[in-house]
Amino acid sequence: MHLFLSPHFDDVVLSCGGTVHQLTQRGEPVTVRTVLGQKPNPRRIPDTPIVRELHARWGQGDEAVAARIEEDDAAVKSLGATPQHMTVWGDCVYRVSKDGRPLYPSEGSLFGDIHPDDLAGRLIPTIVLPPREAVHALYAPLGAGHHVDHQIVRNWALELRKQNPLLALKFYEEYPYSEHKNAVDRALLYFQENGVKLEVEAISLSDADVEAKIRAIALYRSQISTFWDSAEAMAQAVRQHLLRIGSGTPVERFWRALPQ
């Protein structure tokens, strides 16, 4: 099985939906697992600037997350893959310390270091995949953009590789964060500093893969306005991004972990 780890309800489809479609069209089993997929308790949602800003776009509280889950299920299934959601931890904007203090109260805090009181940051990398899943290829976020939830899932993937050195591990470049200047290069520094050797791997996409990815992204209606003016603008931007990465051929780029 190909297991794609998605920090949030849209990261895999945005970043490598074309590859997911290509794999499923070949008959390969693919699961997209959202790691920070818990619905927040409406009574415990922190009243912070970032939560107020996001809920103004998404809707309110657990209803907003429920809508995002529906969008994600539809998008992942449209690519022929199986959606799954882990429900122990939610998005970092909802996580609080033991004494109830918001851990990530502002937009800037989302892209800093993992908070030392964040239990998700400490515990998620200790999770072991059950043997019955028979995962032979694992895909995880590279960390482009330095979002704390992406860092946590990246760290988990590296721990899983330590547990199973034969596991094929590939890191995907998170779109649209990867479009920011030097975002990918900064993400790669983490691996260099920690002695993890990576090799770039470009997956060429067919026109059908590209169109399937665009259709899937369009199903995330609550998220379109975060990055684009319209669904049409999104489609144009995605096509241009894939062509730029592949120097004229649509490509999604991964970084494969080499044997230690």
Contact 66, 15 (CB under 8 A): no
**Host domain of residue 32:** 2-257
Closest CA to 1 of 125, 138, 128, 171: 138
In one letter, which amino acid is 80? G
Looking up residue 178, the CATH number of its domain turns out to be 3.40.50.10320
| pTM listed for this prediction | 0.95
Task: Determine the pLDDT at residue 64.
Answer: 78
The whole-angstrom separation of Cα 210 and Cα 240 is 11
Q: How many domains does the chain have?
A: 1
**8-state DSSP, 133:** G
Predicted confidence pLDDT, tens digits, the chain (260 residues): 999 999 999 999 999 999 999 999 999 999 999 999 998 888 888 989 998 888 887 766 667 788 899 999 999 999 999 999 999 999 999 999 999 999 999 999 999 999 999 999 999 999 999 888 889 999 999 999 999 999 999 999 999 999 999 899 999 999 999 999 999 999 999 999 999 999 999 999 999 999 999 999 999 998 888 889 999 999 999 999 999 999 999 999 999 999 87
Task: Determine the pLDDT at residue 61.
Answer: 60
Task: Determine the pLDDT at residue 260.
Answer: 75
**8-state DSSP, 20:** H
Closest CA to 136 of 16, 245, 249, 30: 30
Instruction: Name residue 109's beta-bridge partners.
Output: none
